[in-house]
Amino acid sequence: MKNSLLIIFSIVNLFSFSQETIADVLKKYNKESIPYITANELATPRVEAVLLDAREIEEYKVSHLKNAIHVGYDNFSLIETKKILSDNDAMIVVYCSIGVRSEDIAEKLKKEGHKNVYNLFGGIFEWKNNNFTVYNSKEEATENVHAFSKDWSKWLLKGKKVYD
């Protein structure tokens, strides 16, 4: 009986962890100080935004959103980014793999006076999960998506996962 209860508890526990959503992860790691924009909202033709990719250059080269500007995370330069973003009222959408690193970069921009800054909910993973196109370093559409790590890649449900 004890073994049966232990097995049942283990299965329930395992099942509950596997049911974690991107929203749960973002609540866990983010302060949610920056408003989210969804992939579907961003994809509407009426939304004009400056897209900033807050991932590392290796990730960006594998896959990025069309017209996105790479700003990175580990070596992010607020000074260099400010040169690109001269209009403090322009809509800016920052993204990364799922939306954790991008919140940090978006917060820095907001502190610098940018008023219209958003974090892409679910990042490039959710973009691809919604069947939107990503582009490689040659600006060609690709199914490859840099998956960041084996642990984080579980949130990427579509496309081909790349880790290098």
Question: In angstroms, rounded to a whole number, what is the distance separating the alpha carbons of residues 34 and 74?
Answer: 20
Q: DSSP per residue over 68-87, as a string?
A: -EE--STT--HHHHHHH---
Strands (DSSP E) contained in 29-116 are 36-37, 50-53, 69-70, 92-95
Rounded Cα distance between 98 and 23, Å, is 10
Nearest to 83, CA basis, from 43, 112, 57? 112
- Which entry of 96, 100, 124, 156 is annotated as an active-site residue? 96
106 part of the active site: no
Hey, which residues are catalytic here? Answer: 96
